[in-house]
Amino acid sequence: MTIKMIAMDLDGTLLRKDKTIDPVTMSQLMRAQEQGIILTLASGRDKNGCSFVYEQLQMERGNNYLALVNGQMIYSFARKEYELDEVLDNDDAQKILQTVRQYDVEAIFCCGYDFYDYISKRQKMKKHLARVVHGKPMDYGLAQGNGERNFITIKDKNDFTQDINKVVLVHTERYFRRHLDEIREKLSDYDLLEVGPQWIEIMPKNVNKASALEHIARENGFSLDEVIAFGDAENDIEMIRRCGYGIAMGNAMEQVKQVAYAVTDTNEQQGIAKALARYVFHEE
């Protein structure tokens, strides 16, 4: 079957550890665009956080897309327009805050370019120590982006008047191994996605990268059977499962590999380029 769209997660998938794209993969993606194949970046990031990638790929020139915030928001380069799916509101935020206070987990409420951070004094001390010892930014780099983002600490009870795109939970890998199942049960009205061992993202139910890709495919007159999608983490599972060619990276979580059509090499070893050569360009 002819591939009509290539969808890619960024961190751990298209991007190497140093946040660059290897030259072979870059060349393959430019070639795909020349053949009329749509490119979609499917990421937990917002548009500003993807700009250094889509600018390199010159995606603004064609009928390409961004599936942002785990598929909650779609941006069309051709139309220069956004489409938005369900968001979280203040009632959701209060339920989530109650649980994170109980488990002493840091929670970052992402509201467009405003990031509201709940953190206990105890966790803030640990975070400060990590900054001093390991040089980690206190805002995890979320406030970076040409001065367009605000990182705001929640000091007391906070009522949210803005829509909340997602909530990020941060704690140690060891802590999440012990308590994540309990937290999932208490927040069962939402989808909790393990993006990294210390990084969990809370989304509205059934808002995911697959639903965004399905919308894009329908808009362009084809089905998900004609899409090849690449990912490595839990927030990629639905698109890997539902696309005709759902490809897990060699470095992907085991639960992603289990639902994949195939497993390619790692993000450090040109995994996307190798899969494109086989399934899109039929060169292997």
Q: Which residues pair with 7 in a beta bridge?
A: 40, 229
The reported pLDDT for the residue numbered 284 is: 65
Domain topology for 5-85+207-279: Rossmann fold (3.40.50)
Which helix H or strand E contains 25, and what residues bound it? helix 23-34
Model pLDDT, residue 137: 73
Question: What pLDDT is stored for residue 121 in this prediction?
Answer: 84
Name the DSSP letter for residue 88: B
Determine the CATH number of domain 90-204. 3.30.1240.10
Cα 279 to Cα 284: distance, rounded to the nearest angstrom: 8
CA distances from 158 to 61, 75, 81, 109, 224 (A): 42, 30, 31, 11, 41
Residue 111 neighbours by CB distance under 10 Å? 19
SS3 percent helix, strand, coil of the chain, rounded to 5, is 40, 25, 40
User: Is there a contact between 64 and 40 (Cβ–Cβ < 8 Å)?
Assistant: yes
pLDDT (0 to 100) of residue 147: 59
Residue ranges covered by each domain of the chain:
5-85+207-279, 90-204
Q: How far is Cα 181 from Cα 166, in angstroms, rounded to an integer?
A: 19
In tens, the pLDDT along 165-213 reads 999 999 999 999 999 999 999 999 999 999 989 999 999 999 999 999 9
Token pair of 111 as six digits? 């509201």
For residues 267 and 21, what is the distance between their CA atoms, to the nearest angstrom?
Answer: 9
Per-residue pLDDT tens, the chain, 284 aa: give them. 799 999 999 999 999 999 999 999 999 999 999 999 999 999 999 999 999 999 999 999 999 999 999 999 999 999 999 999 999 999 999 999 999 999 999 999 999 889 999 988 888 887 777 777 767 776 676 766 555 678 888 877 778 999 999 999 999 999 999 999 999 999 999 999 999 899 999 999 999 999 999 999 999 999 999 999 999 999 999 999 999 999 999 999 999 999 999 999 999 999 999 999 999 999 86
